[in-house]
Amino acid sequence: MASVTLRPGRVALADLRAIACRGAKAVLDPACRGPVDAAAAMVEGIVARGDTVYGINTGFGSLARSRISDGQLSRLQTNLVLSHATGLGPLLDDAVVRLVMALKMVGLGAGHSGVRWRVIESLQALLQAEIYPCIPAKGSVGASGDLAPLAHLSCVLIGRGRARHKGGEISGEEALKRAGVPPLTLGPKEGLALLNGTQVSTALALAGLFAIEDAFAAATVSGALATDAVKGSDAPFDPRIHRLRGHAGQKAMAETYRRLLAGSAIRQSHLDCDRVQDPYSLRCQPQVMGACLDQIAHAAGVLEIEAGAVTDNPLLFPTDGDALSGGNFHAEPVALAADALAIAVAEVTSLCERRIALLIDATLSGLPPFLVEESGVNSGFMVAHVTAAALASENKSLAHPASVDSLPTSANQEDHVSMAAFAARRLGEMAANAQGVIAIELLAAAQGMEFHRPLKSSAGLESAMGKIRALVPRLDADRMMAPDMQAIAALIAEGGFHDLVPGLLPSC
């Protein structure tokens, strides 16, 4: 299995995709040891001098004015971890937890958190052994960091909590034994450094980004396939149109559609037809998908920066000797990026649903009703479209921005929060809905193409047809369609269409 070396401040999206989607092993750059040790020595100095610094020898949140004696500092950190492990709901899946652990290593490895190197080593040992803390999905408001979920991760490091290994659930104590590391006795600042940070929100958003990119690649292909299936025009993709507007995503999508359709004999067969304009779901694909692509690219840039960031509090600057309290734990950038992704994937889903409706409507498509011979006896794609409509509607509701909400916590000390964790978490469900709708469109468009045989489409779209037909045969008469839809949705989730749109998406 491939290994990825992580360096604070510059973590590539492609490496994060490899960790999440392909299980690549993450290793922190050993060059981080020096800065980490320097910050840990600074914490030791603060304690030795008796200086009062938040989170090192004080209480937390609204209890920040409580001074803690030196003899209670380790207990303070352990109590922090245990008291904050209040998450509920289903457990985050292994891919997300891998990302959380990798991102936490990056944040601590920058040398501004004050933890000892052995804290990072313990985290890395669990990750290398494929032992993943059990982290409930719900309980973070995305400010002061993802406190509850990161507390569940941290519990395993001190021999508490639960973890997953090789498909089974084990105790935190057993997890450390299998990883070959002893339980941590937390030093000053270490519990707080582990709990502060946006790593859970960021990991969820990254996982959502990757799944949305997989869906977007497939939706680009399905849109081109549907265009050829209904004998749509490629004239709206002429570069002169898109240069006049200037948006990067729009120009990139127009070029992609031109390339996907180039050389289609089906297109050549109706060059002189009397149709003046296609419906918007065909004609405006560069404008709609291009705008979505721009939002995806922007969100990807935000998340790439956040992945390499230091987001706990207070932050230590050993060179200057300063310990500064700030608010890098506030996950507003992640929340806004996740909301942008949600709106983009809802629009992609909506556009695909409209093209399915077009494909099955004989008066608009010129194809047999519901894309099946002997319609009436056969219902064809009639109710597959109903499923697509249901999923598209769900995505519209889920697209409502989470970041516009805030509820004060910690006795009003934390009086504005980001709701980034939910903003990011719902992306997984939205991407799965989108993949289902796109799978239906791919099947419907492929079915439509069959009615134009023996004419061939372009090389790229014939390749797409081959991918589809390798899993699902043509619909000659009614059958259960759910297995067909599931097979193509799985192909989308595996990134099965990225090769047809190379270089289009940020992490691919």
Active site residues: 54
Q: Which two tokens stand for residue 3?
A: 């290994």
Q: Is 173 exposed, middle or buried (0-12, 13-18, 19+ CB in 10 A)?
A: middle
Using DSSP, state whether 4 is helix, strand or coil. strand
Smallest Cα–Cα separation from 86: which of 132, 145, 134, 138?
138
Q: How far apart are CA 271 and CA 350, in angstroms?
A: 29
Q: Which two tokens stand for residue 68?
A: 């803690």
Q: Are 110 and 221 in contact (CB under 8 A)?
A: no
Q: For residue 131, is it left (φ>0), alpha (ψ between -120 and 50) or beta?
A: beta
Task: Tell me the CB-side half-sphere exposure of residue 371, using CA atoms within 13 A.
Answer: 30
Q: Which residues 6+ apart lie within 8 Å of 477 measured at CB?
A: 372, 373, 374, 378
Q: Say how many Å lie between the first and final Cα of the chain, rounded.
A: 19
Other C-beta atoms within 10 Å of 361: how many?
16
| Alpha-helical runs (H) found in 23-137 | 33-49, 73-84, 94-109, 117-128
Q: Are 113 and 312 in contact (CB under 8 A)?
A: yes
Residue owning tokens 């949600």: 342
Convert 343-390 into a string of H (helix), E (strand) and C (coil): HHHHHHHHHHHHHHHHHHCHHHHCCCHHHCCCECCECCCHHHHHHHHH
Smallest Cα–Cα separation from 94: which of 203, 197, 171?
203
DSSP code string of 307-332: HT----SSEEETTTTEEE---TT--H
